[in-house]
Amino acid sequence: MSRIRILGIGSPSGDDQAGWLVIDALSNSGLRTGGDLHFEKLDRPGASLIPLLVQADWVILIDAMASQPLPDTLGESRAQAGQIRHFDGQSWPDYRHGLSSHGLGVIESLSLARELGELPARMDVYGIEAEQVQAGCPAGETVQASAQRLAAHIAAELARSGVYASPG
């Protein structure tokens, strides 16, 4: 049986809690850490993310994202708050420096892990578009709803993998 790790990354700053909200929603749906399934919330883990990847066969990583303006829109149009995007272990969005005050962001840590050949066999990265990242504020309603929707999608993926029954 494969080892599955679900990592929700965030910080206590508005929509940046998106990854944490997905973990909460999974937990509230009855899914439990144990056996080969492990899920946890991480607060801006930096390079500490890499050892967590090594220990798993399938990693599902969720983080808030602030995407670049959409192409062919003369820089005027951005993704909408709460929009969910999926990336595999091969192609990730460009890292826009400056969003993190830490030396090593999530995409940099993933890129370093890939360079070292430390990525798990299956890697799913989900980004939830953030709008406001005000320290101490709750996530916006749109992002909260997206977190619920993504949690249901992940639970269904786990069920489809044949390893876990879909909770609830």
H or E element, residue 100: none
Instruction: Tell me the backbone φ, ψ of residue 129, rounded to 5 degrees.
Output: -60, 125
Stretch that binds other proteins, among 20-28, 103-111, 119-127, 159-167 (CB under 8 A): 103-111
Q: Report the residue from 73, 90, 91, 101 that binds other proteins according to the rule CB under 8 A.
A: 101
Q: Report the residue from 27, 29, 89, 108 that binds other proteins according to the rule CB under 8 A.
A: 108
Q: Min. distance of Cβ 166 from other proteins in angstroms?
A: 30
Question: E-assigned strands of the chain?
Answer: 4-10, 37-43, 58-65, 84-87, 122-129
User: Across the chain, which distance is largest between two alpha carbons, in Å?
Assistant: 50
Footprint of other proteins on 40-69 (CB under 8 A): 42-48, 50-51
**Rounded to whole angstroms, what are the CA distances from 132 to 16, 20, 113, 145?**
8, 16, 30, 15
Footprint of other proteins on 6-45 (CB under 8 A): 42-45
Q: Which residues bind other proteins (CB under 8 A)?
A: 42-48, 50-51, 97-98, 101-104, 108, 111-112, 115-116, 118
